[in-house]
Amino acid sequence: MKPSATTPAALVIFGATGDLAQHMLLPALYHLESEGLLPEKFAIVGIFRREPDVTEIIQEAEIQLLRSHSEVDLDVLAKLKARIHTVKMDSTNPDHFKLLAAKLRELDKIAEVKLNHLFYLAIPPSIFKSVIGNLASAGLNGSKNDDRESRILVEKPFGDDYDSAKDLIAFMSEHFEEKQIFRIDHYLAKETAQNILTFRFNNPLIEGMWSRQFIDHIQITAIEKIGIMGRAAFYENIGALRDFVQSHLMQLMALVMMEYPEDLTSEAIHREKLLLLESIEQIAPKHVEDIAVRGQYEGYTDEVEKPDSTVETFAALKLEVANSRWGGVPVLLRTGKSTATKATEIVVAFKDRTRRSISDNLLIIRIQPNEGISLKLLAKKPGFTAEVQPVQMEFCYSGTFDGHQPDAYQRVFMDAMRGDQSLFATSAEVMASWKLLQPVLDAWKLSDVPPEVYKEGSWGPSGSEQLAQNFGTNWVNDSQHVCPKHPAPEQ
């Protein structure tokens, strides 16, 4: 079923020439265009600091589409190009916002309707506040008398620690209402992440086993084969904990472990996710080194040209949810760049009642690539002995569902156009996550032990394996065998 038609809108992209816009946003808009999902009256306004060149950004988008093995229909690309308008301005200069306001008025005239406004901040966090303040001063934050919707979409990381996030939330709330703010965590918009709740709550078999009574521990992994891809300035201010753990991994953990919401409305889901995040046991500063490990891939310091950089490109953490359902179940999280493979997956290890290995009884939710769900069980081997053999039952997206799966950014755009905040992070969730991780950030900042160096193409530092062993397990590293018949394109 096609989603309902969306209202006329202008999407303003701050950072139109950046990596995110070219590698993710424009390709996602291309797919929406090709599927006829963009409103007829829909304009894209690219904000350029230098002389705008629409042909160049369209060519970049085309290269990206080809790289991701999409077929490129030149007519669709031309249609998308025709929607793009440009404003050359400095987003940190309040006066320049008059140019943007004028462009938006002009687009209203062309469309003969008041277009909704979507402001997408695909820019470094260091200039978020300046752009937000400037939008408000130019009257572009949707005043009460303005009979159109104005929404702002903000890329993560939202703040860079607890205090800065709190400050940013307070600042934004002076200029935009919560219902106008869409804090993007594109992992929440992945099809397979959305399926977590359906899988848990629509299958009594799973729902019945979902507790400390049957589950030994949980592992959540999001690793990438790629390194920082030349984004030295960005990454040096971020590191793996802020880039992935604070957002993507904490959100996945909340989906996997939250209680059943009263209903499936955005509010009820957010309420339960928050309760879960707030139930995670706080980390005592003196215990940071027992539950957190950081690593850095070999060659990173040369790449960023900073021989003494201690920025982590890998982080592993053990957490625990202190409630009656989960108390005593270790939750292991890990993320890293330049590792053996690209994989995001959740491994649920069941308790060993047969005195065999825990790895014989696993449920693997494969978020990407080779999306699917696999259950490892034990079966009697045919024959005259009682020999038991591990077997695998699996469901793969590819081969089960026909057609193209919308990618995460397509979903981000569709939901933002429709005003649906279900798959965006609330300010309270963001704060709960920063609060939890702050002791780790503080300890790593003060530590004189640098991150452990690991080899490119490995599974991260040896400390990560040691961490898992300290909590009675090993990381499951072989699950790229889930849905192997349908491999996704290499990263």
CB of 297 to ligand BG6, least distance (A): 13
CA distances from 366 to 156, 240, 243, 316, 478 (A): 23, 21, 20, 19, 12
Tokens representing residue 125 in the block: 């966090």
Contact 18, 121 (CB under 8 A): no
243 binds ligand BG6 (CB under 6 A): yes
320 binds ligand BG6 (CB under 6 A): no
The mark string for 429-468 relative to ligand BG6 (x by CB under 6 A, - otherwise) is ----------------------------------------
**Cβ nearer to ligand BG6, comparing 186 with 366:** 186
**Cβ nearer to ligand BG6, comparing 155 with 320:** 155
**Cβ nearer to ligand BG6, comparing 224 with 303:** 224
Whether 248 sits among the annotated catalytic residues: the reply is yes
CB of 224 to ligand BG6, least distance (A): 6
CB of 186 to ligand BG6, least distance (A): 6
303 binds ligand BG6 (CB under 6 A): no
Residues 157-216 that bind ligand BG6 (CB under 6 A): 186
**Cβ nearer to ligand BG6, comparing 224 with 272:** 224
CB of 234 to ligand BG6, least distance (A): 8
**Interatomic CA distance for residues 244 and 222, integer angstroms:** 8
CB of 157 to ligand BG6, least distance (A): 8
Tokens representing residue 121 in the block: 């901040």
Q: In this chain, which residue has its C-beta nearest to ligand BG6?
A: 243
**Cβ nearer to ligand BG6, comparing 149 with 345:** 345
Size of the site for ligand BG6 (CB under 6 A): 3
**Interatomic CA distance for residues 139 and 131, integer angstroms:** 12
CB of 97 to ligand BG6, least distance (A): 27
User: Among the options 23, 248, 287, 486, which is catalytic?
Assistant: 248
**Cβ nearer to ligand BG6, comparing 183 with 186:** 186
Q: What is the 3-class SS of 340-383, one letter each residue?
A: CCCEEEEEEEECCCCCCCHHHCEEEEEEECCCEEEEEEEEECCC
CB of 283 to ligand BG6, least distance (A): 23
CB of 123 to ligand BG6, least distance (A): 14
**Cβ nearer to ligand BG6, comparing 252 with 417:** 252
CB of 312 to ligand BG6, least distance (A): 13
**Cβ nearer to ligand BG6, comparing 216 with 407:** 407
224 binds ligand BG6 (CB under 6 A): yes
**Cβ nearer to ligand BG6, comparing 186 with 318:** 186
Active site residues: 248
Sites of contact with ligand BG6 (CB under 6 A): 186, 224, 243
